[in-house]
Amino acid sequence: MRRIGAALAALALAGTMLGVGASTAGAAPVTTAPATACPTGWGSGAKGGVTAGALPLENIRTGRHNCFDRMVFDVPGGGAIGYYVSYVARLHQAGSGNYIPVGGGAVLEVRVAAPSYDPESGAAAYPGRVARPLPGVDIGGYRTFKDTRFAGSFEGETQIGLGVRARLPFRVVQLPDRLVVDVAHSWTSSR
């Protein structure tokens, strides 16, 4: 065991000395940022998870990551939240069938099993307005997200239109009290 440890220490020291020698020889050190390995294999087909929802949607927020843009639906106390996410040619409001324009090269329809109102009182829990951008969500500067539209709630389910740059792979993750939708920046394995 001591020999292995001593050998590793010697290799580490030799590597350090090589780096010092190279930098003192007048050569500029070459620095390259390591390529970020991005997940692949998510696909762009419809995804769904069945869980009955009774608690209201309280917030929708977004975030930018190295490999994808993220949308999070917060349903405190909701446990695992049911959903159906799919690319659509055009977004039509559930119930009325009204067309809601969504910008971008492709439209991802997100249905979350949580109403935007309190089922007990009927009071609004999420302040979205039909056919308008999501309140408090700023997607300026995002690589993949291009537009958001609130399509309303119908029969205990909230519907969102997410405009994306192109039809790209996405995943949906159910977490306690929230649902996460990630849309990749590209189909390749590096950003």
Per-residue pLDDT of 29-60, as tens digits, reads 444 555 678 877 899 999 998 776 679 999 99
SS3 content of the chain, % helix, strand, coil (to 5): 10, 35, 50
The two structure tokens encoding residue 185: 């920046």
- Rounded Cα distance between 94 and 87, Å, is 15
CA distances from 38 to 11, 76, 188 (A): 32, 30, 8
For residue 148, list its beta bridge partners. Answer: 162
What pLDDT is stored for residue 28 in this prediction?
Answer: 45
Spatial distance between the Cα atoms of 98 and 83, rounded to a whole number of angstroms:
21
pLDDT of residue 95: 92
User: Rounded distance, CA 160 to CA 158, Å?
Assistant: 7
Q: Give pLDDT, residue 54.
A: 76
Q: How far apart are CA 134 and CA 40, in angstroms?
A: 28
The whole-number pLDDT of residue 186 equals 93
- Position 157, amino acid: E
Distance CA 92, CA 33 (A): 44
Count the Cβ atoms, other than its own, within 10 Å of residue 13. Answer: 10
pLDDT of residue 150: 98
- pTM reported for the whole predicted model: 0.80
pLDDT of residue 4: 41
* Whether 173 contacts 85, CB under 8 Å: no
Q: What is the pLDDT of residue 41?
A: 86
> What ranges make up the beta strands (E) of the chain?
47-49, 59-64, 68-74, 83-88, 91-92, 99-100, 106-112, 145-154, 157-164, 170-175, 178-184
Segments of the chain scoring below 70 in pLDDT: 1-35, 52-53, 189-191
Predicted local distance difference test score (pLDDT) of residue 16: 38
